[in-house]
Homo-oligomer: A and B are copies of this chain.
């Protein structure tokens, strides 16, 4: 159950597929170089593999213990968290002026993936702190920044995000937690929040809760929401944790997976109200949430990829070691099961899907970097739109393949996979939350077809389709048969995506039909765009081969893209009927008939 950071593939995708080095043209990352990228990935990977990965399985068995409002995390977590802070990893992709390392967000996402691979239950803590950092760096007052940013940026303090309530999950507008002015510029918060990741723990001396709440006389729905900062310990005059705030965990959930991540029920108020401070203006709660939402969704995608990678590595190791039966063309009896075509194919599917989803995540991250750093406003907007278009795809495909790959990896183990001791089952359990949180994949699909396809008059999706066709042309122009095949399958998939997109964007289309098509459309979008990035990788690999560089590695990139093209891209044209299935068929069964 060791973990080997996939640093070479990460670097290849960052540099040769999603062109992170192009960011240098913005002037924002003057020191960015291939050597720096490699060094960060190596160092980050070393920490993840050496410190966090060995704790993953034991922490799952231990869980997170709750008693009298306090949470004890798994043995080793506190020390590992200390090392995480020491390494400065929390601030990796934040501006140096805010105390960060000043590296691209894309590199930050690559690190996130390794962090989640190594130990998802642990990784969730820093992931949530990152969300709070996004909000505070963008919208915190000077005082808030002064008081909280340095400690959060270093990771010394952690943060939690408080949205969900028992009757308000996907429909955030329905939430009821109230904040009333305390008269001194602060607010008093009363309400209960559920599913609060790392809402309470023993790894940091203070926890900064960001809480979505309703203000008095605020309008109903999302417009009445505001975001508040309520620390576990109020700060004394020196900015150090002082008086205990009226905010506490009242329980932790017993979950299917991520056992070592304390998922808390939080109670704000009860003894006068939890003291909090407004972030942004009153009524801007949703805008504040959206600042962190894109990055949180992207990070969940990377998390799915991370679990998939870890599960895949374990299956690969097992397939190389476990011997069983005879294999075609293999002398040894019994043969290692990696030689059986069915097992081998399963491994190829896992590896190809991981690479595809990983590419989407990193491409989304690069777009987000451009959206901040490009000079031209129009170009910035376009980059932002690309980021927003890719966000649901990154979140969905990463999380879907997280579940699928961890299931395939478990299956490679046969009966042993079902035994908890083996560790394969933990990945399967852990991965299963990713299609749910930070907006279920159904919500992502609705966001995709309802909002993202129609941004800027449809420009972002049209532009992406155009770019994909350029790669089709690149493949077609190659002298290599493999690239031709990749290009041909990609062309058909892109054509299908275009037809489906136009069908959805048809102004005559009923809204119910659009909603009914959302998930299947999102599936073909994820698969097509994933295949597109693999095709770019194949084209780049061809260049490496011509230059005589890393030929074996480059050939493998082509083989992977070729496999994905025939196994997955080739099925996309056949999925059009499923996308264009109208809502009347979905609602035709009577309500009684469903039961």
Instruction: Enumerate chain A interface residues (CB-CB to B < 8 A).
Output: 4, 164, 167, 169-171, 174, 194-195, 253-257, 313, 316, 323-325, 328-329, 334, 338, 340-348, 351, 403, 407, 410-411, 414-415, 417-421, 425, 428-429, 432-433, 435-437, 440-442, 445-446, 489, 511-512, 515-516, 518-520, 552-553, 555-556, 559-560, 562-563, 566-568, 570-575, 577-578, 581, 583, 585-595
Residues of B within 8 A of A316 (CB): 594-595
CB pairs A–B below 8 angstroms (17 shown): A167-B323, A174-B334, A253-B418, A338-B591, A343-B442, A346-B442, A348-B585, A348-B594, A407-B432, A552-B592, A552-B593, A556-B590, A563-B589, A571-B574, A571-B577, A573-B574, A574-B574
Query: Assuming the A-B contacts A348-B589, A552-B593, are A169 and B415 also in contact, with contact meaning beta carbons closer than 8 angstroms in the complex?
Result: yes
What distance in Å separates the Cβ of A518 from its nearest Cβ neighbour in chain B? 6
Q: With CB as the reference atom, state the residue of chain B lying closest to A572.
A: B574
CA distance A595 to B570 in the complex (A): 26
CA distance A407 to B256 in the complex (A): 12
CB atoms of A403 and B414 under 8 A apart: no
CB atoms of A174 and B324 under 8 A apart: yes
Query: Assuming the A-B contacts A562-B588, A563-B585, are A254 and B419 also in contact, with contact meaning beta carbons closer than 8 angstroms in the complex?
Result: yes
| A432 partner, pick from B169, B170, B428, B591, beta carbons under 8 A | B428
CA distance A395 to B234 in the complex (A): 60
What distance in Å separates the Cβ of A565 from its nearest Cβ neighbour in chain B? 9
- Knowing that A256-B425, A340-B442, A411-B441 touch, tell me 14 more A-B residue pairs with CB under 8 angstroms: A174-B334, A194-B415, A254-B421, A338-B594, A342-B515, A351-B589, A414-B436, A415-B437, A418-B433, A559-B585, A562-B588, A567-B578, A567-B581, A572-B574
CA distance A169 to B421 in the complex (A): 18
Residues of B within 8 A of A313 (CB): 595
Residues of B within 8 A of A574 (CB): 570-575
CB atoms of B421 and A586 under 8 A apart: no
Residues of B within 8 A of A590 (CB): 552, 555-556
Query: Assuming the A-B contacts A563-B585, A566-B581, are A254 and B411 also in contact, with contact meaning beta carbons closer than 8 angstroms in the complex?
Result: no
Residues of B within 8 A of A323 (CB): 167
Residues of B within 8 A of A570 (CB): 574, 577-578
CA distance A577 to B323 in the complex (A): 30
Interface centre among A329, A414, A575, A583 (most CB of B within 10 A): A414
CA distance A333 to B585 in the complex (A): 24
Query: Assuming the A-B contacts A324-B169, A418-B436, A516-B341, are A577 and B566 also in contact, with contact meaning beta carbons closer than 8 angstroms in the complex?
Result: yes
CB atoms of B410 and A432 under 8 A apart: yes
CB atoms of A559 and B588 under 8 A apart: yes
| A585 partner, pick from B515, B562, B571, B587, beta carbons under 8 A | B562
Residues of B within 8 A of A578 (CB): 566-568, 570-571
Interface centre among A418, A440, A559, A595 (most CB of B within 10 A): A418
CA distance A456 to B17 in the complex (A): 52
CB atoms of A553 and B593 under 8 A apart: yes
What distance in Å separates the Cβ of A249 from its nearest Cβ neighbour in chain B? 16
CA distance A169 to B255 in the complex (A): 31
What distance in Å separates the Cβ of A170 from its nearest Cβ neighbour in chain B? 5
Interface centre among A195, A428, A574 (most CB of B within 10 A): A574
| A436 partner, pick from B340, B411, B555, beta carbons under 8 A | B411
CA distance A323 to B173 in the complex (A): 13
| A559 partner, pick from B171, B254, B571, B589, beta carbons under 8 A | B589
Residues of B within 8 A of A575 (CB): 571, 574
What distance in Å separates the Cβ of A13 from its nearest Cβ neighbour in chain B? 15
CB atoms of B566 and A169 under 8 A apart: no
CA distance A562 to B584 in the complex (A): 11
What distance in Å separates the Cβ of A296 from its nearest Cβ neighbour in chain B? 15
CA distance A25 to B94 in the complex (A): 78
What distance in Å separates the Cβ of A256 from its nearest Cβ neighbour in chain B? 4
